[in-house]
Amino acid sequence: MNSELAAAARTGQLPVVAPALPVPVRPLRGPLTDALRRLRRDRAAIAGLLIILLMALLAVGAPLITRQDPIEQTLVNRLKPPSSAHLFGTDNLGRDVFARVLYGGRISLRVGLVAVALGVGLGTLVGLLAGYAGRVADSVISRLMEVLLAFPSTLLAIAIVAARGPGLENTMLAIGIIGVPVYARLTRASVLALKERDYVVAARCTGASGARILFRHILPNSLTPLIVQSTLGVATAIIEAAALGFLGLGAQPPTPEWGLMLTDARNFLLNAPWAMIFPGGAIMLTVLGFNLFGDGLRDALDPQMRP
């Protein structure tokens, strides 16, 4: 190269140097960006999210979608088939099934979200205490959670509602309680895996309190399994609420709740199947949406799925 430059200097001609091509710089991507990218590519998860949004919009916009009163009884129109006047027909008391399904979505979604929030809140606190305190507290809490898990969830919910009395509030409380052991065990497992990490040991060495270590360092890093399980738990809570409503222990008449609608329509299945098909279909679609989205979210947040 030096000889070429010397020859060019003697002759007065400079060599032609090809311009350097720009090196493409790959943008840095964090775990959250990768998770969102995988979630966008998951068609099933996107379909589930769209179903959830659709059901939520229908429930919130019920007064704008239909002018029918969901609890108004018109015995002259009882058990009418679907028509332009009543899109989903009428039930045994002449109430518009379409309006009851829309307004029932408000109740079912609220029960699912409130029950899961209650279960996540209590279960997370119990799991943090069991995992971080260890020894006696861990042993006592773990045995108590195992006792609750030993009972079938629906049977335990029935027992709680029967003890406190039927009603929507007691239904949400019962469903929230039966979900506590699941979230407590998830949180405990995450705490046991995280409390010996270097950043937790460093925080402990600097004199940080146990509460600060739990809520600032351990809890934020253990939210991923809780988020996924809570998404799937909403679907389970809706099914449990429908089951309690079907048994007459959930929402009470004339509340337009999907499980209660199935109870009212079961004696007219052969004569008026639409009174059971449409609320049952609403339950199926809502649960399907949450399950699809929850499965996709679990795959997106799984560290082993990262390229």
pLDDT tens per residue, range 26-46 = 554 556 677 778 888 889 999
Sign of CA dihedral 43, 49, 51, 54: negative
* Cross-strand partners of 90: 96
Tell which CATH classification among 1.10.3720.10, 1.10.260.40, 1.10.10.60, 3.30.1370.60 matches the domain 50-60+88-305: 1.10.3720.10
How do residues 85-118 score in pLDDT, each as one tens digit? 899 999 999 999 999 999 999 999 999 999 999 9
Q: What is the pLDDT of residue 280?
A: 92
More confident residue, 299 or 159: 159
pLDDT of residue 22: 57
Going from the C-alpha of 196 to that of each of 193, 199, 203, the distances in angstroms are: 7, 8, 11
- Residue 244: pLDDT above 60? yes
Residue 39, Cβ density class (10 Å: 0-12 exposed, 13-18 middle, ≥19 buried): middle
Q: Can you give the pLDDT at residue 252?
A: 86
Give the residue, 49 or 304, on which the prediction is more confident.
49
* pLDDT of amino acid 278: 94
Of 213, 211, 192, 204, the residue nearest 127 (C-alpha): 192
User: 10 Å Cβ neighbour count for 25?
Assistant: 6
| pLDDT band, very low/low/confident/very high, at 228 (cuts 50, 70, 90) | confident
CB atoms within 10 A of CB 118: 19
Residue 278: exposure state from Cβ atoms within 10 A (0-12, 13-18, ≥19): buried
What pLDDT is stored for residue 6 in this prediction? 56
- Looking at residue 28, its pLDDT comes to 45
The DSSP H or E segment spanning 110 is helix 97-133
Tell me the average pLDDT across 74-82. 90
* Residue 46, CA atoms < 13 Å, CB-side half-sphere: 8
Calculate the alpha carbon distances from 302 to 34, 88, 196, 227, 290 in Å: 10, 42, 21, 12, 18
The percent of residues in the chain predicted with pLDDT above 90, rounded, is 37
Average pLDDT over residues 168-194: 91
Range of weakest confidence among 27-36, 123-132, 211-220, 288-297: 27-36
CA 164-141-192 angle, 5° bins: 135
Residue 20 pLDDT exceeds 70: no
Mean pLDDT of the chain: 85
- DSSP bridge partners of 96: 90
